[in-house]
């Protein structure tokens, strides 16, 4: 015998369910705030990337803040700020303060398999001991991502930025400083393919960018770069997350010559190996260790270098 639910009880249950759904939708559309603060201690064998290979220790304080809001069922908005302060014990020219504001970022996902993102960034990087390295940066970027099959995805990204050096002068063809400050324009195209293998995320990314500068001394800062990056990451345990990366980068200078009688255009080959392990101490705190090794080879011997970096980072999120 089937038990009949009284109509008024069924109606009340439907109303309660509708109220819960409405409350969940309202919560999803509220303005959300989150952030994190981290402190890192690192040691580098060659922070100046020079032939001297003099090691140094650094301390870095970083913060990241973000606001986000769902504007529509398929459209999300966010705005974020990241700041960092890096200071070396001895290598003063490497000290800097960096501020980056992503004024607006939109993410549109009309389907489960498609996602389109667009954002704008403003950056100010200040070097107190090396003022000529201080710059302002403006960047616009867009990314299109598509999920393939069950575990595969690919994405294409385009970036354009203008970098304005605050005090560094652009040079004329003879090498003399002009009245104008140096200004660089860069275009970057990136394409990535990724998949999950046994709960680990693996990806390969190709990147191509070209840099144009108003510094006319042998077109010193005009070059083209091709870069490929491979990475794998995943949870080793419930609280331990590990990752590894490999990257190769070829930089071809268009007119910058190497030293010598029969000088040819310079090129650099850079290899990077990286690994990290992050452990969640609790819901607020996490501890991370990272190791990165860079090797740059070049047909200009004075430009070659090696650098290894060990870092230990403590992060609190809120």
CB atoms under 10 Å from CB of 310, counted, come to: 14
Distance separating alpha carbons of residues 74 and 79, to the nearest angstrom = 17
pLDDT of residue 12: 73
Least confident of 6-20, 60-74, 182-196: 6-20
Query: 21-30, 33-42, 50-59, 120-129: lowest mean pLDDT where?
Result: 21-30
- 3-state secondary structure (DSSP) of residue 142: strand
Q: Which fold has domain 32-317?
A: Porin (2.40.160)
Its pTM stands at 0.85
Residues belonging to the chain: 318
DSSP string for residues in 238-279 = SSEEEEEEEEEEEEEEEEEEPSSTT--EEEEEEEEEEEEEEE
The H or E element that residue 125 is part of is strand 114-126
Contact indicator for 307, 293 with CB cutoff of 8 Å: yes
pLDDT digits (tens, 9 = 90+) for 39-50: 999 999 999 998
DSSP H stretches of helix in 29-118 = none
Beta bridge partners of 57: 43
Q: For the chain, which residues make up each domain, given as ranges?
A: 32-317
Evaluate if residue 128 carries a pLDDT over 90. yes
Structure tokens at 20: 């819960």
Four-residue CA torsion sign, 133, 136, 142, 148: positive
Res 3: pLDDT: 62
Question: What percent of the chain has a predicted confidence (pLDDT) above 70?
Answer: 95
The pLDDT tens digits for 187-213 are: 999 999 999 988 889 999 999 999 999
């Amino acid at each position: 015998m089937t038990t009949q639910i009284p109509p008024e009880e069924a109606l009340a249950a439907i109303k309660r369910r509708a109220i819960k759904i409405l409350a969940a939708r309202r919560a999803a559309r509220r303005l959300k705030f989150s952030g994190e603060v981290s402190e890192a201690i690192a040691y580098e064998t060659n922070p100046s990337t020079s032939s001297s290979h003099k090691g140094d220790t650094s301390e870095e304080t970083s913060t990241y803040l973000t606001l986000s809001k769902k504007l529509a069922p398929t459209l999300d908005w966010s705005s974020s700020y990241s700041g960092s302060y890096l200071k070396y014990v001895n290598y003063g020219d490497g000290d800097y303060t960096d501020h980056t504001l992503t004024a607006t970022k939109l993410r549109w996902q009309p389907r489960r398999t498609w996602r389109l993102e667009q954002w704008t960034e403003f950056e100010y990087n200040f070097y107190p001991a090396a003022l000529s390295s201080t710059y302002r940066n403006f960047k616009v970027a867009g990314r299109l991502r598509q999920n393939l099959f069950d575990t595969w995805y690919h994405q294409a990204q385009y970036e354009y930025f203008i970098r304005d050096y605050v005090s560094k002068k652009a040079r004329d063809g003879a090498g003399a400083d002009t009245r104008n400050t140096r200004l660089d324009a860069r275009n970057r195209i990136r394409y990535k393919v990724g998949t999950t293998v046994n709960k680990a995320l693996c990806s390969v990314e190709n990147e191509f960018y070209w840099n144009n500068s108003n510094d006319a001394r042998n077109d010193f800062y005009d070059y083209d770069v091709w870069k490929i990056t491979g990475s794998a990451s995943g949870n080793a345990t419930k609280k331990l997350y590990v990752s590894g990366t490999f990257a190769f980068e070829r930089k071809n200078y268009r007119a910058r010559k190497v030293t010598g009688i029969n000088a040819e255009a310079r090129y650099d080959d850079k290899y990077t190996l990286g690994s990290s392990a992050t452990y969640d101490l609790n819901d607020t705190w996490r501890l991370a260790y990272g190791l990165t090794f860079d090797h740059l080879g070049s047909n200009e011997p004075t430009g070659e270098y090696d650098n290894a970096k060990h870092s230990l980072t403590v992060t609190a999120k809120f």
